[in-house]
Amino acid sequence: MEAFSSEEQEKVVHAISVAENRTSGEIRVVIEKHCPGEVFERATHYFEKLGMHQTALRNGVLIYLASEDHKFSIIGDAGINKRVADDFWESTKEIMVQEFRNGQFVTGLTKGIEHAAEQLAKFYPRQHDDINELPNDIVFGDN
């Protein structure tokens, strides 16, 4: 996808890897140019399609970004949602929006990943026998 260079993609994947080294949680990023329909429904589609709800502790987090439509959503699975504050995902989005408004999509994504990882590490610290249940690569969507 031309919106993200290979170097920018590496930065996002690196942020996911660093985050997941602190937690048993799983973080995925999906990027599309355009979001058909409602952004939350599109993010939910990918959450299910990528098996995010199938992690052992139900502690997956998906960040969905439609870069050209300037839309994004964050979805946390049941395990993390029952532990974080009610406004956690909104506060994460605000951190990201600050960067997105300046056209800094990679920085916004990495800050969102880092913020989510803080809570994941708090509630789901990495265990000595932890396995990476889902790939860390960016998923480039259908659009």
Fold of 6-140: Diaminopimelate Epimerase; Chain A, domain 1 (3.10.310)
CB neighbours (10 Å) of residue 129? 6
Question: pLDDT for 80-136, tens place per residue?
Answer: 999 998 899 999 999 999 999 998 999 999 999 999 999 999 999 988 877 788 888
DSSP characters over 30-88 = EEES---S-HHHHHHHHHHHTTGGGSTTS-EEEEEEETTTTEEEEEE-HHHHTTS-TTH
Domain ranges of the chain: 6-140
Interval 13-58: pLDDT, tens? 999 999 999 998 999 999 999 999 999 999 999 999 999 999 889 9
> Is the pTM for the entire model greater than 0.75?
yes
Residues contacting residue 59 through CB under 8 Å, at least 6 positions apart: 23, 24, 25, 26, 76, 77, 79, 80, 120, 123, 124
